[in-house]
Amino acid sequence: MSISASMVKELRERTGAGMMECKKALTETSGDMEAAIEQLRVSGAAKADKKSDNTAAEGVVSMKLSADGSSFAIVEINSQTDFASKSEDFTGFVDQVTDLILTSQPADTAALAELELGSGASVADATKSLIAKIGENIQVRRFEARAASGNNVAHYSHSGRIGVICEMEGGDADLAKDVAMHIAASRPICVSEEQVPSEVLEKEKKVLMAEAAESGKPEEIIEKMVQGRVKKYLAEITLVGQPFVKDPDQTVEKLLAAQGAKVLGFTRYEVGEGIEKKEENFADEVMAQVRDAEKPEKS
């Protein structure tokens, strides 16, 4: 049966698969559109499984606030390459998933995977289709979505790679935005000393004690040295203890106090943080895909 260009076009529009894949599926199913769709779904799932072991450490951090500012969503969605993360297919998927997280507030990534996008496909199925189309592993890695605290909630994005949600009581929108920008740049792990995890503090104390012990000074001097260094460490990792990026002569704590404001919490995501990247030769992978596409079809 002759496969017309219009048939290939229809199959591409319905599945998002590549032109050559659509033509091949239609040829192998003798022009049966529904059978071709099913074949592409099966092959897409197989490709997704094959790509699932590839490291996806690029991508974007996407954020949205509800119209009234009462709730927010922040999500990290990864790809293997920065190039893929800039494609319209990827950015469109990210936008839909962020909207869905904001409106549905799912409990975790497993619950999110089962929710349906506007197309009717689940997030899990849409992810597999995107993997098949782009040819890279795609992962919805993590998200946070909930009712916001405070009367000023701001979000700040740095090139789509770092995203911050800052929840503030008091102050104004400009202050909240400035503090969100500061968080993006300075990477505090929490708002104040009271929120520093005990295991983080104990680990740092052990390191500082070991370093101070090498000085050979008396124990009481070592104790004072460690106390001073711990205080400095806490100032470096807590939001209120850090020098404000726009005015290093004052701390964020003093900045907030001057405007009667208090940061209730924040969320900071950075693309790929904590992911161990493997060396992968994407040029070779692309060429392999080209060679597979150029192989003559068996009669």
The 10s digit of each residue's pLDDT in 11-35 is 877 766 677 888 888 999 999 988 8
CA separation for the pair 205, 198 (Å, rounded): 10
- Per the structure, the complete domain to which residue 28 belongs is given by 1-51
Residue 41 and residue 65 share a domain: no
Higher per-residue confidence, 221 vs 162: 162
Residues 6 and 77 in one domain: no
pLDDT for residue 46: 46
Own/partner long-range contacts of 289-295 (Cβ < 8 Å, ≥24 apart): 289/135, 293/20
Handedness of CA 105, 110, 113, 115 (dihedral sign): negative
Are 10 and 86 found together in one domain?
no
Q: Is the pLDDT of residue 289 over 70?
A: no
Q: Report whether pLDDT(297) > 60.
A: no
273, part of any domain: no
- Please say which residue of 95, 125, 148 terminates a domain: 148
pLDDT digits (tens, 9 = 90+) for 39-83: 877 766 545 555 666 788 999 999 999 999 999 999 999 999 999
Pairing of strands 262-270, 152-158: unpaired
Residue 269 domain-assigned? no
Paired tokens of 23? 């033509």
pLDDT of 299: 46
List phi, psi (to 5°) of 252.
Answer: -65, -35
Whole-structure pTM over 0.75, yes or no?
A: yes
* Distance set, CA 292 to CA 41, 78, 288, 296 (Å): 19, 26, 6, 9
Q: What is the pLDDT of residue 222?
A: 84
pLDDT at 287 (0 to 100): 61
Residue 157 lies in a domain: no
Q: What is the pLDDT of residue 277?
A: 72
* Cβ-proximal residues to 112 (8 Å cutoff; 6+ apart), any chain: 97, 100, 101, 104, 106, 123, 140, 143
Residue 177: pLDDT band with limits 50, 70, 90: very high
CB-based contact 47:131 (threshold 8 Å): yes
Specify whether 121 is located in the same domain as 59.
yes
Token pair listed for 13: 């529009």
Residues 3 and 17 in one domain: yes
Q: Convert the pLDDT of each residue in 242-267 to its tens digit.
A: 999 999 999 999 999 999 999 999 99
**Residue that the structure tokens 């991508």 belong to:** 59
Same-domain check for residues 119 and 82: yes
- Partnered with residue 152 across adjacent β-strands are 168
One domain for residues 142 and 204: no
Collapsed DSSP state (helix, strand, coil) of residue 29:
coil
**pLDDT, tens only, 82-137:** 999 999 999 999 999 999 999 999 999 999 999 999 989 999 999 988 988 888 89
Q: Is the pLDDT of residue 298 over 80?
A: no
Number of domains the chain contains: 3
Say whether both 43 and 94 belong to one domain.
no
46 and 98 in a single domain? The answer is: no
Q: Which residues lie below 8 Å from residue 17, measured CB to CB, with a gap of 6+?
A: 11, 25, 40, 44, 132, 133
Token digits for 216? 């050979």
- Choose among 83, 73, 153: nearest CA to 112: 73
